[in-house]
Amino acid sequence: MAYATKLTLIHHIAIYVLFYSICASGDDCGVRDNPDVNYFDVQLPEINVPNHLTSYVCQQFKIPTDQAYHAIAFEPIISNHHVMHHMLLFGCESDTGNMDPHLCGSQDQSCGSWLAQWTIGVEGQVCTPPQAGIRFGKNSFQYMSLQIHWNNDGTIQNQTDNSGMRIYYTTKLRQHDLGNVQIGQNDIEIPPLTPSHNTVGSCSGSCTRQMLFQPIYITRSYIHMHYLGENGTFDLYRNGQFVQRISEDLAYLYHKSPIHNHKPPVEVLPGDELRLTCGFDSYSGEKKRNTTLFFGEGSNAEMCYAFVTYYPHAIGFDQCIQFADYDVNCPSSDGRMFGGCNFYDLESSVKGHLLDDIIRACSLGVLCDKNCSQTLRELTTHPCMQGRLGVHSRRTILSNIPSWKKVIIIMDDYRDKCVV
Ligand SMILES: *[C@@H]1O[C@H](CO)[C@@H](O)[C@H](O)[C@H]1NC(C)=O
Ligand SMILES: *[C@@H]1O[C@H](CO)[C@@H](O)[C@H](O)[C@H]1NC(C)=O
Ligand SMILES: *[C@@H]1O[C@H](CO)[C@@H](O)[C@H](O)[C@H]1NC(C)=O
Ligand SMILES: *[C@@H]1O[C@H](CO)[C@@H](O)[C@H](O)[C@H]1NC(C)=O
């Protein structure tokens, strides 16, 4: 159950978010003429690009695994600049069974550890810090998965692509394994015509206490929003007290947001809170919107994430996200994940029988009978129907089911006529 909850959000992350990722500028990591450094390429074969504005293609690759390695630099290989929008590299512990290029799907979610990324506009290599590398091979990742986002506006026919990434690696392991963690807020609701709307998403002290067993050191951070992003700040708190600002983008621009390199790295102790605040503007100029904007992938949806690189790698510390006040990736003090809510579970019960049961048990003559109140209670006490989770469930799950409209009327009637 917890697993499914995590998957729901990983899905958002893996499929919606990382796409737009990081924007490095012209780095050269000095790896090309280093005799200790080798490379391999993960690259699509030459294939046709679908005639859709947006396609995601994924392919898994076997990588060297005979010993432990550190990947220390990533270099984009862009064969078709017209369609390449972004590219993400993930590590996988096991074979997903899909070594051919295919449209990305649920099987690719098992490659959930993001390692590197390229986005349109980025030139040159992405380097790891000198004291750390991304471990793979023996006792670590056995495969890597490449995810490519093509943007095909159809102006040129019959396009093909065989883009990919060159990965420079070494057996001379550096002192530390590098990790990447995504921090932010998955419950975003920006009212229309609002000049300044803040959204906060933390990696809470409770989560870092559960997920970290020693201090970590942040070497990079990158704040990601969409078009309404106005400013973002990423702060460190200890025992509820502000310690330092890790990074800030005070005039956020979607297409030009910077990577922040932290020298010296920022020390984070178990129990510290990493707090991201995203400022949105739905009022001014081109940002003006007359409808509410929610979390999501498209240009009419928003995000609030920080992508953070750190060492030493803490196993499992690759996402530390909130939905409203709920920590998505670690249990709360009562031991429950995500308030016990599993959106898949709610979806299958409302689609399966629950709404029909309510309509049957609450038909007019028997509205206030026990059977009606029982079935209604089954819905209203579901963990995913509480608070902000309930708001999300109504909007994204229930509103898509035709019989939900009838159930809303029944619930109103029930409240008016049956509750004393
Ligand atoms: C694109 O491919 C189709 C089918 O293979 C072919 O009929 C058409 O002539 C091609 N168009 C161009 C511009 O190459
Ligand atoms: C972000 O922008 C809003 C609106 O202009 C402003 O009120 C707020 O102080 C800014 N936040 C930071 C951290 O500068
Ligand atoms: C809302 O915005 C859209 C797009 O900018 C515009 O076409 C529409 O007329 C606006 N509606 C109202 C009620 O202002
Ligand atoms: C209430 O539900 C029970 C069990 O589903 C059913 O046997 C019974 O007939 C129902 N009562 C009414 C009044 O519908």
Whether residues 131 and 26 share a domain: the answer is: yes
Closest ligand relative to 193 C-alpha: 3
Q: How far is the CA of 279 from the centre of ligand 2 (A)?
A: 7
Domain range holding 265? Answer: 9-337
pLDDT of residue 15: 32
Which residue's alpha carbon is nearest to atom 4 within ligand 4? 371
Question: Residues 328, 375: one domain?
Answer: no
364 with 321, same domain? no
pLDDT at 364: 63
Mean pLDDT, 10 residues at a time, the chain of 420 residues: 33 33 55 91 96 89 96 94 88 85 85 80 82 94 93 87 96 96 96 98 97 96 90 98 98 82 95 98 96 81 92 93 96 91 95 93 81 93 97 96 95 85
Count: domains in the chain: 2
Q: Which of 306, 337, 368 is the last residue of a domain?
A: 337
Regarding the beta carbon of 75 and ligand 2, being less than 6 Å apart is answered no
pLDDT of residue 66: 95
- Return the residue matching tokens 């996200």: 321
**Residue 420 pLDDT:** 58
**Residue 2 located in a structural domain:** no
Task: Provide the pLDDT for residue 115.
Answer: 87
Spatial contact of 362 and 410, defined as CB atoms under 8 Å apart = yes
Does residue 203 belong to any structural domain of this protein?
yes
Distance 297 CA to ligand 3 centre (A): 21
pLDDT for position 27: 63
Residues 6+ apart with CB under 8 A from 278: 184, 185, 198, 199, 200, 201, 223, 225, 229, 231, 232, 304
Please choose from 360, 367, 371, 374 the residue to mutate so as to test ligand 4's pocket, defined by most ligand atoms within 8 A of CB.
371
Tell me the CA–centroid distance for residue 290 and ligand 3, in Å.
6
Residue 208 inside a domain? The answer is: yes
Measured from the CB, is residue 371 less than 6 Å from ligand 4? yes
CA pair distance 390, 398, nearest whole angstrom: 10
Q: What is the pLDDT of residue 8?
A: 33
Compute the radius of gyration of the chain from its Cα atoms.
23
Same domain, 38 and 67: yes
Residues 326 and 384 in one domain: no
Residue 410: predicted pLDDT: 93
- Ligand 1 lined by 157 (C-beta under 6 Å): yes
Q: Which atom of ligand 2 is nearest to the CA of 277?
A: 13
Q: How many CA atoms lie within 13 A of 103 on its CB side?
A: 6
CATH number at residue 190: 2.60.120.310
Nearest-5° angle of CA 396, CA 226, CA 286? 110
Q: Which ligand is nearest to the CA of 284?
A: 2
Are 283 and 345 in a shared domain?
Answer: no
Q: Is residue 141 part of a domain?
A: yes
pLDDT at position 11 = 33
- pTM comes to 0.81
113 pocket-lining for ligand 2 (C-beta < 6 Å): no
Last residue of a domain, one of 309, 337, 365: 337
From the CA of 402, how far away is ligand 3's center (Å)? Answer: 27
